[in-house]
Each structure stands twice: as C-alpha cells, then as structure tokens.
Amino acid sequence: MNKSDNYNNDAVEPSVEQATKVDYSQSGGLAKRLAQLDCSVAISSYQSGFLYNLGRHPNGGLHLHQAAMPKPMGLSYNGASGLTLAAGSQIIQFRDVLAAHEQINNTFDACLMPRRVHVTGMLDAHDVGIDKSGAPIFVNTRFNCVATTSERHSFEEVWRPPFIDTLIDEDRCHLNGMAMRDGAPAFVTAVSKSNTIDGWRDRRNGGGVVIDVTRDEIVCEGLSMPHSPRWHDDQLWVLNSGTGELGVIKGIESGMGFFEPCVFCPGFLRGLAFHKGYAFVGLSKPRYKRFEGLPLDQKLKDADSEPWCGLQIIDLVKGTCVDWFRIDGSVTELYDVEVLPGIKTPMAVSPGSPEASNLVTFDKTTALEGANFPTGAPENLSRQISNQSEAL
C-alpha cells in the first residue's frame, strides 16, 4: 500500500492481487475526524462491485471493509430503517443485527445484514430513499421516473417529469438524483429534459435540470450533469458534476432558481451526505470517451490538478476540504456516499454469501430460560465471519 509521509502508519498489507490493482491513502487527520464526528462512511462503487465501509479500527487508525454487491449504486441510511442500497436488479435493505455490547471478530460494532431484498430487474436504479411508511423510493433511470417496489411487478411508478410523455423503457433524460424531504421525494436531477431515447447524451454540458416533484416544475436549469440533490439545513444542495462543484440552488421558492457554487473538488462528483456541519462528497475520475468536453476539464487545467477518485470532507463554514480518502489504481468511479452516525467500525454482508447463510441471529429476550443458543449468535462469530477488510 503506497502512502505519503503524512498518512497514517497503521496498516496491514492487502493481498497481492489487491495491492497490484488498488492503493488507498488518506489525510493524517481522517481517523480523528471520524472519531470527533462519531460516525463512519458507506461508499458504493458500481465499477468495483463493492460496498465500502470506512471506519476506525479498535486499535487505532482507519479500517476499510468491502462487501461484494451487484452493481451498488444509491445509498440511504437512518437508524430506524437501516441501510438501503440500489444494487443492480435489486433494492436491498440491511439491518444492523448487533446489540450495543456485541462485536464481530473483536472489530466490528455494526453488522449490516440483508433482511429484505426486492427483485426489480435491471432498472438502472440510481438514488434511493425511504418514505414515511418505510417503503423504498428510488430513481428508475431506465424508465425516466421515480418508483417504489411492487408486490407483483418490477416497480410501481410514483412520479414522472412533466416533459416525459409516457412510461417507456427508454433512458431519455437520464434521471439520476433524488432529494428526500419529510419522508417523500422532493427534488430530482436529470442530465437533460430530453423526451427522445438517449437524448441526454447530447445535452451533457448545460442541459442539466433540477425538478420540484411537488410542484411538477423545473426550478433550475443550465447545469452540467447534476447529481445527488440533498435537502439539508433548509437548503437544496446539488453536485454539478460536470463542473466539479458542490453548491446550493438559490431562489427556488419564487420559481426558477440558480446554482450557486460553494467549493470545487477535483473530480466528477457523485455522492453527497451531511453530518454535523460537514459535507461528505464522492469524487470519480471522468470516463473520457463519454464525459469528455465538460467544463470540468478546463477547471482541472486551471487548478493544475488531475482528477481523482475518493472522498472529501468539506467544512461548510470554511468552504474547504479538511480531510480526505483517496483510491488509486483500477477503481476510478464511485456512485454514492452515506454517513453512518454512531457507528465506529461497520461491516456489511452480501446477499447469497456464505456469511449470509451462516449468520443466524434472534432476539434472546424472547427465548425460553435455559435454552441453548446456536453458535451463530453474534458474539460467537469470530471464526465464522470472513470478510475482505484491512486496517489503513
């Protein structure tokens, strides 16, 4: 693992195969920052096929756990509903199965187990959220709509942009991002307002829009491939991915608003979460054959910088990056970022994995007195849970 002098020294070497493909590095204060904020971070990468959980090792330094998932995309977390992931042909809902005093492998204080898997088919689902009733809400990019799961069908349409004239299997506008507000989808982003198949590819620079779902109106336009709208602190935040900028949509209350950039990050931005005055922003390296010619190219040149893949933590008061986590090598694209408050060292279990089959948990408070507990109880799992993780 390659590290500069100011990186943390706590590390174990990855496998030979992993070391030749991926290098991880981080700012010297990242572990301390996560401790101060009392959180860890979940990161999805459809390119690598991993859900990453970045936390702190009990012995000091950082710890990265990765769990294989089918095309992991959108993430949504809250304590009541757990972690929800849009993953290929599935919407997966994870729950932490550990009690406050339990650990796995003497390391993990949270074990995110897949407890509900909705098979949707390949919808190219992007952002995901949970509504007031606890049902998953997701951006169905393939069908240009916001949808929820169905007991019978692949999905049930919830809302569609006003410029899309029919529910059809054609990615026309590349609907991608969704901001939840008060348990309902409030705003979405699209690369364009095209109503023809694949029309969005011709509108990548300047064709991006933000749409108010409740009002059924476009409230900001002229963006470059916007992603990850989030309602935070009574403001709508958006990643203007094609310019590499995190910013706020101003003036939406009175009608058409405008994008006000707050900070530039050196990458194609996707994935945004907020916690205690900080923004957690995901960065990817652009796919140049598809995304070349965006304003991001010139901004990188002006900053004398190369694009990189990873996570930046932005101080919202100062408007600067205060800590970061970087991935170099074969992994160049991330999709979403989510903060896991109150969790120090999380791990996740892949559906269909041996761990998902072998880990059996239940509420011991309902068991009969004197009952024999199986070896699958969480505190006895140190020999049964194998995982791809490492200290950094």
Query: Using one digit for the tens of pLDDT, what is the confidence trace for 224-260?
Result: 999 999 999 999 999 999 999 999 999 998 889 999 9
pTM comes to 0.90
Task: Give every CB contact of residue 230 below 8 A, 6+ residues apart in sequence.
Answer: 179, 236, 237, 238, 272, 273, 274
Instruction: Please report the pLDDT score of residue 276 as a whole number.
Output: 98
Residue whose structure tokens are 């020294």: 9
Instruction: Please report the pLDDT score of residue 388 as a whole number.
Output: 65
Q: Is residue 19 part of a domain?
A: no
Q: Is residue 10 part of a domain?
A: no
Please state the length of the chain. Answer: 392
Domain assignment of residue 352, given as a range:
28-391
Residue 278: CATH number of its domain? 2.120.10.30
Instruction: Please report the pLDDT score of residue 1 as a whole number.
Output: 29
Q: Which residues pair with 384 in a beta bridge?
A: none
How far apart, in whole angstroms, are the C-alpha atoms of residue 25 and residue 326? 5
Neighbour count for residue 366 (Cβ, 10 Å): 7
Q: Is residue 14 part of a domain?
A: no
Instruction: Please report the pLDDT score of residue 363 as a whole number.
Output: 81
Q: Which helix (H) or strand (E) holds 123?
A: none
Question: Read out DSSP for 275-310?
Answer: ETTEEEEEEE---HHHHTTSHHHHHHHHTT----EE
Instruction: Please report the pLDDT score of residue 256 as a whole number.
Output: 92
Q: Is residue 297 part of a domain?
A: yes
Q: Is residue 22 part of a domain?
A: no
Strand order in the sheet with 184-190: 175-181, 184-190, 208-212, 217-223
How far apart, in whole angstroms, are the C-alpha atoms of residue 43 and residue 63? 13
Instruction: Please report the pLDDT score of residue 254 as a whole number.
Output: 82
Instruction: Please report the pLDDT score of residue 370 as a whole number.
Output: 46
Predicted confidence (pLDDT) per residue in 86-120, tens digit: 999 999 999 999 988 899 988 999 999 999 999 99
Predicted confidence (pLDDT) per residue in 173-208, tens digit: 999 999 999 999 999 999 999 999 999 999 999 999
Q: Is residue 7 part of a domain?
A: no
Q: Are strands 184-190 and 175-181 parallel, antiparallel or unpaired?
A: antiparallel
Q: Which residues of the chain have pLDDT under 50?
A: 1-20, 370-386
How far apart, in whole angstroms, are the C-alpha atoms of residue 238 and residue 219? 13
Instruction: Please report the pLDDT score of residue 227 as a whole number.
Output: 98
Instruction: Please report the pLDDT score of residue 366 as a whole number.
Output: 63
Q: Is residue 5 part of a domain?
A: no
State the total domains in the chain: 1
Q: Is residue 11 part of a domain?
A: no
Residue type at position 218:
I
